[in-house]
Amino acid sequence: MSEILRVVRLKKWFPVQKSFLERLLAKEKLYVRAVDCVDLSVSKGETLAIVGESGSGKTTLGRLILRLIDPTDGRIYLDGQDITNLKGEALRKLRRRMQIIYQDPYASLNPKMTIGDILRDPLKIHEIVSTEQEAREVVLNVLERIGLTPAEEFYSLYPRNLSGGQRQRVAIARAIILKPELIVADEPVSMIDVSLRASILNLMIELKKELNLTYVFITHDLAVAKYIADSIAVMYLGKIVEKAPTEKLFKASMHPYTQALLSAIPMPKPLHTKTRKLEIGGEIPNPINIPSGCRFHPRCPYAKEKCLKEEPQLIEVDRDHHIACWLVSK
């Protein structure tokens, strides 16, 4: 399969805002190292899940890929084209090819625009249609497709008239209406009621097949990732620590952090906790103070001397299975 997205040594360091006095007295600058040297490759038609806890940098990574923020370093390639430094008109036009679905269905829709307006806007911006009539038709079709029927009714409603689940469907519609190649979905079901998540996920899966989409699916929920993703990349403190096809990650994960995550997921089995494999303590440290060597070492039960001193690189240890850990690679 051809590669649609490639990310090379991508970095995003946010300078820490300091008071005037602190700036005067301090010698070195401090940074929040949100994304710290990430390599990724996503094939066309694939769903890659980026899994991590808050503080892992996954949301920032999503924003970087879509060029909603500028990288500090590294390169981003969309379908072979270097989009790292695109600006202005070129960047604006590029957006047709990559879209986003946000986590919060309440905040991501303009409260002063009707659903019809919200969905017509992308069409008008990129001049996909030439008449109002055409635009309306396209929007009505999309509304039908995503299950908001009767479409004519929803067309003139405002976001505040819709439930959270319905709003998220509108957000999905907005993302697909331009028929993009790549969609970054940032925790699209985290704020949706549990019983409705499956329908949103199933809709996304169907749309992917119909429109030949590629998803970068950001989530903290490994169970959701398992359901929707072809491969999973686990992020910790700005770096990818393990990447593997979904089945392999669940059956044969190698990184201690991945194993800890898998062990901590609540399972709908009574007394399940008694059979957990790996437990770790502590919390993700502040991304301003990244631990030396392997950034996971303070919480890792298997940490050795080398782990404190040198940072392991992400290397392929098995077919398509990448890991950054001194236990596995020498």
Partner 1 sequence: MNTFRPILTKLVPRIPLTTIGIAGLLMVLLVISMAIFADFLTPYDPTKSVGLSLQPPSLQYPFGTNKVGQDMWSRTVHGARTMLIVVALSTVISIVIGVPLGLISGYVGGLLDRVLTMVMDAIYAFPSLILAIAIAAALGPGIINTAISIAVVYVPTYFRMVRGQTLNVKSQLYVEAAVAIGAKQTSILLKYIFPNVIFVVIAVFTLSVADVVLTEAALSFFGLSVPAPTPDWGFDLRAGHPYLVSGYWWLVTFPGLMIIILAVGFTLLGESISEYLGLREVKV
Partner 2 sequence: MSEKLLRISSLKTYYFSRKSVIKAVDDVSLEISRGEMVGLVGESGSGKSTLGLSIVKLVPPPGKIIDGRIILDGKDILKLSDKELRKIRGKRIGMIFQDPLTCLDPLRRIGDQIVETILTHLRIDKEDAREIAMKTLERVGIPSDRIDNYPHQLSGGMRQRAMIAMSIALDPELLIADEPTTALDVVVQSRIMDLLEDLRTERNMSILLITHDLALVIERSNRVVIMYGGKVCEIGLVKDIAEDPLHPYTKLLLQSIPDIEKIKTELKPIPGSPPDMRNPPPGCRFWPRCPYTLERCKDTEPNLTIIEGRVVACHLYRG
Measured over the CA atoms of residue 231, residue 46, residue 81 and residue 13, the dihedral's sign is negative
Residue 227 binding partner per list partner 1, partner 2, none, with a CB distance cut-off of 5 to 8 Å that depends on partner kind:
partner 2
Minimum distance of partner 1 from residue 192's CB (angstroms): 16
Of 111 and 266, which CB lies nearer to partner 1 in the complex structure? 111
Minimum CB separation from partner 1 for residue 62, in Å?
A: 11
Tokens matching residue 329: 């690679």
Q: How far apart are CA 183 and CA 173, in angstroms?
A: 12
Encode burial over 289-300: b for 16+ CB neighbours within 10 A, e otherwise: ebeebbbbbbbb
Smallest distance from the beta carbon of 312 to partner 2, in angstroms?
20
Say which entry of partner 1, partner 2, none residue 330 contacts (CB below 5 to 8 A, set by partner kind). Answer: none
Which partner, partner 2, partner 1, none, binds residue 313 by CB below 5 to 8 Å per kind?
none
In the block, tokens 């990244």 appear at: 290
Quick one: DSSP state of residue 163? -
Q: Alpha-carbon distance 17 to 299, whole Å? A: 28
Residues that bind partner 1 (CB under 8 A): 66, 68, 92-96, 99-100, 102, 104, 107-114, 121-122, 125-126, 160, 174, 178
- Closer residue to partner 2 in complex, CB, 99/168: 168
Task: State yes or no: residue 116 binds partner 2 (CB under 8 A).
Answer: no
Asked if residue 281 binds partner 2 (CB under 8 A), the reply is yes
- We find the least distance from the C-beta atom of residue 202 to partner 2, in angstroms, to be 7
Contact between 163 and partner 2 per CB under 8 A: yes
Shortest Å distance, C-beta 77 to partner 2: 32
Q: Which residues contact 293 (CB under 8 A, 6 or more apart)?
A: 306, 307, 308, 309, 310, 311
Q: What's the rounded Cα separation, in Å, for the pair 240 and 230?
A: 17
Binding residue for partner 2, selected from 54, 81, 156, 313, defined by CB under 8 A:
54
What one-character-per-residue DSSP string does 245-283 give? EHHHHHHH--SHHHHHHHHHS--SSTTGGGG------S-
111 binds, among partner 2, partner 1, none (CB under 5 to 8 A by kind): partner 1
149 binds partner 2 (CB under 8 A): no
Residue 299 and residue 281 in contact, taking contact as beta carbons nearer than 8 Å: yes
Site for partner 2 in 285-314 (CB under 8 A): none
User: Judged by CB under 8 A, which stretch of 7-15, 63-71, 93-101, 268-276 contacts partner 2?
Assistant: 268-276
Q: Which does 99 bind (CB under 5 to 8 A by kind): partner 1, partner 2, none?
A: partner 1
Alpha-carbon distance of 288 to 34, in angstroms, equals 9
- Quote the distance between the C-alpha of residue 228 and its chain's center: 13
Q: Which of residues 167-226 bind partner 2 (CB under 8 A)?
A: 193-202, 220-224, 226
Smaller CB separation from partner 2, 27 or 160: 160
Query: Considering only residues 132, 134, 210, 279, which one is a binding residue for partner 2 as defined by CB under 8 A?
Result: 279
Residues in Cβ contact with 148 at an 8 Å cutoff, skipping those fewer than 6 apart: 115, 154, 166, 169, 170, 173
Least Å distance, CB 270 to partner 2, is 5
Instruction: Give the integer Cα–Cα distance in Å for 277 and 199.
Output: 32
* Footprint of partner 2 (CB under 8 A): 53-54, 163-166, 193-202, 220-224, 226-227, 250, 260-273, 276, 279-281, 283-284
